[in-house]
Every structure is written in C-alpha cells, then in structure tokens.
Structure 1
C-alpha cells in the first residue's frame, strides 16, 4: 500500500486545518504528503487562457506557502495543481493514496446550515479512507476517538483505523453500536416491549464484542470503552463526537444488527461535523 496522504488544498481556513491534521499524521506514521489544489470552471471560452494562467500562478504560490508552513524534519511534501472538477480530481487522486484529507467550512451547530455536499460525494466514491476536517478547533478539552460499529466487514475496517489513530494520539477509544427500534405509526408502540429491547441489546452486545476481539490484543496500551445505545445512529454518534478529537464511521455497512451504520448514516454524520471525521470503506 502507498504511504502517501493526499490533501485537498484551497484558500479557506478549513483547508489549512486539514493540512495541519494531515501533516501531524504523516510525521507520526512516516508517510509523505501530496498537496493537491484544483482549478475548476474552465469551459474553453475566448480569453480564458490568461485567466487560467493567472489562476495557475496563484495556486502554485498557495501550495508553496502551505508546504513551507508545515515543513518539518523527515516530512516529504510534494505539490500538484490540477484542472477540472475538484470532486472528480480528488476521487481520482485517492486511487493511489493511503488516505485522502479534505477541509470543510462547517463551523459547528449554530454556526450556519449543514455543510458537506462535496465531502459526501468524495467520501462516497473515494478508493481510500477520507478524513474531513471541520473549521473549528478540536484540541483542548476534547479527548478520545469514537468509532461506529455494526458488525460488518466495513465496520471492522473502521475499528482498525480508529484503534490505530487512538494509539497514535494516545487517546481512549469508544466503540459505539446503536440499535434502532422497528418503525411504527405514531403511538402504535408507546412502550418498547422489555423482551424485544433485551433481545436487541444482547444482539448488539455480541456484535460489538466480536468486532473488538482482536483489537485489545493488538493495542494493549489503549483504553477501550464499549457502548450500546438505542436511538438513531448518526444522532448518537455526533453527540459523542462533540467531545471527541476524532470520529470514525464505515460507509455502506450492513451488519448482523440491522438499522445500524448504513451508507446514509456516514453521510448524515458528515453533514453536521462534530469533530474531525474519517469515513472508511
């Protein structure tokens, strides 16, 4: 596997946070960075050449400045300016990358509408895991890594990614599995039957235990908390993520416990980023 981390770079502050996050990971994991910036909007109209040339020059300067800003001993950084649709370019770049990192302009609840249409499209089609970095600080009082679990192969990959990041960051890992009651017309089930709840919780507990079986031995130094909740997965995960440094979710998981982390859940988590969020396929 390649040891390259690709970072999508723009002039936005969220992009700078993404570059910083990727640089810290690259240094810790001895990976190298490729900073990619995309010039879009060209349609071949008359007089477009001079505009493209100016955009190329400004973009190259932006990438040089970012490379100089994160320069560190042992960190290899390359830059590339591409033209075309930014989403398509970054998806293509993910094909030979270990990780794709992008920034978001979302600044948290109460700071404007949900964001993430580009991030969702990139995460849905990327060949590598995608990390989306919101435009707010996730250090300080925040701690821990949260991973959504559903017992699927994709969920296993998410757990492995989350455990490696918890080990790198020296943070505890919370593995959360969420079960959702059967949908029914309003007031049809005023109280969920006790036996049904016990059965769902037991199924969730077993799936979670099996999913974490190998991780404890592989990472004996990290604290792992198992959590089971009733509710809607994206809401539960984002609530935990509000105090975490990193959240990890799988994409298109279909596990032994139904209605857990489906593809739509990872998308909903990305729409309202509560922290740095990784989507693992």
Structure 2
C-alpha cells in the first residue's frame, strides 16, 4: 500500500466534491494526490477508434483541469487516464494507494431509490480504505461517527475514525447497536432482565473497543452511544448530522469484490454523509 490518495473522477457534478474532499485531506496530511479517470465501454466496433480517441482526449482535458484547479500550497497532484472497466481499474489503483476516494450521485433520504452498485463493489474489493462522497453539502455538520461491533475489522474502523476525528478537531461518536433476538409474535414483551443485560454487555464491549484512545489522542472528545435497533439505520441517523461516518467491511475471500458486509452495504446504499469503508 502506498501513500497517495487516489480519486476516481468522472464528469458528474459530485466528482468535484470528491476531489475537493481528497485535496483537503492530502494537504493536511501532506500526501500526494492522484486523479484517475477511466474511459470504458469500448467493444471493438468498426469506427470505434475515433470515438475512443476523442473520449480519451476529453478525459485528459477534464482531469488536467481538475488538477490545475486544486494545485496550491505545494500540493503534489498527479493525473492518470486509463481505458477499460472503471471498477477493475479503480480496484487495481487501490493496491498502491493509502486511500481511494469516489463520488456517489445519491443525495440522501427522499432523493429517490438507493444508489451505489459500483460503489459497493469497489468498497468490497479495494485493497485500501475507500471513502464515498455523496452529492450532499456537509457544511455546518460536526462529528465523526463510527460503527463498533467488537470485531477485528471494527477495531481498524475505530482507529481510522479516531485519527480522522483528531485531525479534523471533531468529536468521535462511537456507536454500538444491539438487536433483540426474534421471538414469536405471541410473545408480547421481552423480559426486562434480558434487555438490561443486552444493553450492559454492548456497553462493556464498546468500552473495550475504545480502550487506549484517550491516551493516544488526549484532546479527542469521545461520545459513546449504545442503541437498540438495526445498525445501518442508527448509523445513518447519526451520520445525517456528521462530517464523516466510518464502517468496517467484512467482505473477504474470492467473492470480496462482489460482497460487502450487510451493514456497510446498507450504509453505502443510503449515504447520509461522506462515508469511509475500512477493511
């Protein structure tokens, strides 16, 4: 894994948001930035070469224009234009990146059906953390929300979120969600003891996951939340007022580029804010 932040850009409006987000992070962390655009769709039809050449030339002009727009304060910006399958090319690029940033045209709840089939595949198969930037103005929002479930990948998500919250000077909102066991419909209520123990056990697990952060980031404000419900719903509810949300990906193995943990996939499908998927 390299040190560069790679941004996959297109001519969509949200692409500029993704570039701006990545450029700000690159400046603050003194990382190089690589803008990558991919021209796809070629099938080898007669007369296609001229169309492809024109598309490549237009893509070069666009990516160089974006590089020129953000080049300031000594920011190291590189550009690259590729041809082929965009998802495959971005996954390849992630193998030498510290972070991969992509945009999504989803505008949040009420904007229509969920988005992100390509984004889910990229987040599931990438070799580095992936940040998905929605077409949403996050100005005025505060906090970095991270979903915590005690798993090894959750530990990586917590570490990433804490570092980002400290960098941004924002509180870290760590949320652990528990869901009661399904019971027969004729069972009117759950025993109070069971509900209390679930809340207590989840709170204890959350505390263990956050152990050590206070000593590493002494100025970091940590807000702990233990909620009953469904994880993706609660994470997105909290993320709706946050600058950043962070979730772990449980996708693995030969199908990794097609599968993402159900919670992270649901969070990505209905983006509430800029969201990082850590694996």
Q: TM-score, normalised by structure 2?
A: 0.95
Q: Counterpart of 1:175?
A: 174
Q: CA deviation at 1:184?
A: 2.9
Runs of 5+ unmatched residues, structure 1:
254-261
Q: Map of 1:27-176 to 2, 5 A cutoff?
A: 27-140=27-140, 142-176=141-175
Q: CA deviation at 1:215?
A: 1.1
SS of alignment partner, residue 122 of structure 1: helix
Q: Work out whether 1:243 is the aligned partner of 2:241.
A: yes
* Deviation sequence 1:133-180 (CA, Å, 0-9, x none): 00011112x110000000111001000110111011111110000001
CA RMSD of aligned residues (A): 1.2
With over 3 angstroms needed to count, the CA separation of the structure-2 counterparts of 1:86 and 1:189, relative to structure 1, is: farther
* Deviation sequence 1:175-225 (CA, Å, 0-9, x none): 00000111234x243312111112211221111111100111111111001
Q: Counterpart of 2:254?
A: none
Aligned counterparts of 2:246 and 2:158: Cα–Cα separation in 1: 8
Q: TM-score, normalised by structure 1?
A: 0.94
Aligned residues: 271
Aligned counterparts of 1:125 and 1:119: Cα–Cα separation in 2: 10
Q: Counterpart of 1:9?
A: 9
Aligned counterparts of 2:210 and 2:195: Cα–Cα separation in 1: 22
Q: Counterpart of 1:227?
A: 225
Q: Counterpart of 2:187?
A: 189
Runs of 5+ unmatched residues, structure 2:
252-259
